[in-house]
Amino acid sequence: MGQNERLIDQHRAGWTAKPSLRSVYEDLHQRSLAWCTEGALLEIGGGSGHIKAFAPHAICLDIQQAPWLDVVADAHHLPFADASFENLVMLDVLHHLAFPRAFLAEALRVLKPGGRLVLMEPGVSPVSWLVYNLLHDEPATLSADLWQDGPQTGALPEQANQAIPHLLFYSNARRLAEEFPNLKILKRRRLSLWAYPLSGGFKPWCLIPSRWVKPVLKIEEAVMPVLGPLAAFRMMVVAEKR
């Protein structure tokens, strides 16, 4: 078994072993699915296959092979005909892609008119930037130029720049709209203040009991307009093909 496959298996095991993590991801998946329209749904970067617990009809695609995945393919070259899907969903995938703008063009190709792309990604705030760059194995490099021709991440699937979504949809939102006029942003908001980082993600440790996750998420929702720009760890973007 290769190193990348072992990473997927570790994530699958972490999902099974950590009820707090499952509660955090349940909230993220439900938020994503609430923005989906009726019709075919493709999850890009299916990883350890969590979305099927909430949307059994989803087609799960990843660049790495695993028994619970439906399709193995590169997100930059999706093996589907034009206008195949009403919905594309992704959780923590875009910031791993070497050519994020090329991916957006490919996503628009396989989406039907009126179809939606729903992204859950790392968000950059002063607090999260410090954590990502000092304590996380995936940096957030705000100086990256997403409009240069070279790759934005390394060749391995686990290599990433967690600032890519922020750079696309916040810092360079106007330039992105000019390049993709048929990609209409319906929703853009910050998420995840405490529950997600305290869960430890897929690390073996956890600092929040599972019974506390939902109450903490409710508090986060109430204070997000004030604290989100300062301390949010995630962002959600919903875009529609015109």
3-state secondary structure the chain: CCHHHHHHHHHHHHHHHCHHHHHHHHHHHHHHHHCCCCCCEEEECCCCCHHHHCCCCCEEEECCCCCCCCEECCCCCCCCCCCCEEEEEEECCHHHCCCHHHHHHHHHHHEEEEEEEEEEEECCCHHHHHHHHHHCCCCCCCCCCCCCCCCCCCCCCCCCCCCHHHHHHHHCHHHHHHHCCCEEEEEEEEECCCHHHHHCCCCCCCCCCHHHHHHHHHHHHHHHHHHHHHHCCEEEEEEEEC
Domain boundaries along the sequence of the chain? 3-241
93 exposure class (CB count in 10 Å sphere: 0-12, 13-18, 19+): buried
Copy the structure tokens of residue 144: 């990256």
Whether 237 contacts 187, CB under 8 Å: yes
Q: Compute and round to an integer the Cα radius of gyration of the chain.
A: 17
Q: Could you read off the pLDDT of 129-180 as tens digits, one per residue?
A: 999 999 888 999 999 999 998 999 987 877 899 999 999 999 999 999 999 9
Name which of 165, 202, 210, 226 is nearest 27 in CA terms. 210
CATH of domain 3-241: 3.40.50.150
Terminal alpha carbon distance of the chain: 43
Which residue ranges in the chain fall short of pLDDT 70?
Answer: 1-15
pLDDT value for 182 = 97
Cβ contacts of residue 213 below 8 Å, gap of 6+? Answer: 20, 23, 24, 27, 195, 199
Whole-angstrom Cα distance, residue 154 to residue 161? Answer: 9
pTM of this structure: 0.92
Whole-angstrom Cα distance, residue 69 to residue 219? Answer: 35
Whether 231 contacts 127, CB under 8 Å: yes
